[in-house]
Amino acid sequence: MRGETLCQVERMQLYPAQQGAFKRCIWWYHLIAEFWNSPFEALAEAKSVETSLKEALLFTLKSNGNGNGNGNGKVKSQDLLNEIKAISYQFQPFGVSAQVNSGTAQIYIHTWPERGYSAIDILAETKEDAYKILEKLQEKLKPQAVYVAELVRGISEDENQEGGGET
């Protein structure tokens, strides 16, 4: 029986080497995640892993109302899936490296199913989207433990605010 997932988040501060040289420009919110004790089946096959990644991005695109711009407020899942680009590599006998990209978010994953382990990078335009993707991946890959390091990608001269600028 699976218990509640243990999740630890660490927020990291990055400071440019040349202080005061640039104003804050947040490009991406970057979550570096490690999932432990996921079921073997969730991590072993490239097609299954790729589907999980696409569904995590699809969920984010749908919740943000992004899509084909047809103006009627209803965007078909197939239209959104067409916006998601994916590439994956199947290791033998098992294990996967994969990347999916929607233009507004990216996910990279490397899996070691024999250990129930996956290393994941999530990059999104907003912190909310990054965490929505993380949450959806947890639902799909079912880890028992999760470690997350949070980074704000961009540079700033204002070190007094969290993350060195607006969040």
Report the predicted TM-score, pTM, of the whole model to 2 decimal places: 0.75
46-64 vs 127-141: helix axis angle to the nearest 10? 140
pLDDT digits (tens, 9 = 90+) for 56-107: 998 877 776 654 434 444 556 777 777 899 999 999 999 999 999 998 899 9
84, 58 Cβ separation under 8 angstroms: yes
> Collapsing DSSP states into helix, strand and coil, what is residue 126?
coil
pLDDT at 60: 79
Residue 20: per-residue pLDDT: 52
Check whether 162 has a pLDDT greater than 60. no
Backbone phi, psi, residue 30, to 5°? -120, 120
Asked if 47 contacts 96 with a C-beta cutoff of 8 angstroms, the reply is: no
Overall average pLDDT of the 14-20 stretch: 51
Domains and CATH numbers, the chain: 27-67+79-157 (3.60.90.10)
**pLDDT at 101 (0 to 100):** 94
What is the pLDDT, as a whole number, of residue 83?
A: 80
Q: Is 138 a residue whose pLDDT tops 70?
A: yes
Q: What is the mean pLDDT of the chain?
A: 81
In angstroms, rounded to a whole number, what is the distance separating the alpha carbons of residues 45 and 131?
25
Spatial distance between the Cα atoms of 44 and 156, rounded to a whole number of angstroms: 41
Which pLDDT belongs to residue 38?
A: 97
Q: And the tokens for 3? A: 């218990």
Task: Report the C-alpha gap between 157 and 19 in whole angstroms.
Answer: 6
**Structure tokens belonging to residue 79:** 């239209």
CA 60 to chain centre: 10
